[in-house]
Homo-oligomer: A and B are copies of this chain.
Amino acid sequence: MIEWFDDLKLGMRFVTPEKRITREDIVRFAREFDPQPFHTDEAAAEHTVLKGLAASGWHTAAFAMPLILATKPFGRHPVFGMGVNELRWLAPVRPGDVLHLEGEITELIPSKTRPQGIVWIKWIGTHRDYDKIDVKRVQHGD
């Protein structure tokens, strides 16, 4: 049980519950926050770089948050985000995907004056069928 900052250790791991993302979730979020055809329109999405409807990257990030909260990484203390480094969307999140995340503490920076500190956790989100995805199909660059 995590109570104090010192209870957290480098390499400590967290596994979130799974949750399914629906077509309705994806379209509703995108209409408000990311209204582009590959997020809002199933038919039009077929003809885009994503080759089908996929969640907005911001939706994927937000969707992850309650899963992370469910692991209570800091016990009863809040998960107060200061920032994110190297956020990457590596594969499309499709309607019906069942998502979960795994996290690992990569850095602990204790406060010099108070019994608290800054924790860096590397989170990786995947879905059950991830190994069936052709990531190259949606990667850019060369």
Contacts and interface: CB of A to CB of B under 8 A. Distances in A.
Contact of A87 (B49, B56, B87): B87
Interface string A69-99: 1000000001111111111110000000000
A34 B89 contact: no
A36 interface: yes
Interface residues of A, number: 44
A62 B49 contact: no
Nearest to A48: B78
17 contacts: A33-B65, A34-B62, A34-B65, A34-B69, A35-B69, A36-B79, A49-B78, A49-B80, A56-B62, A81-B89, A83-B87, A84-B84, A85-B85, A87-B87, A109-B141, A112-B142, A117-B141
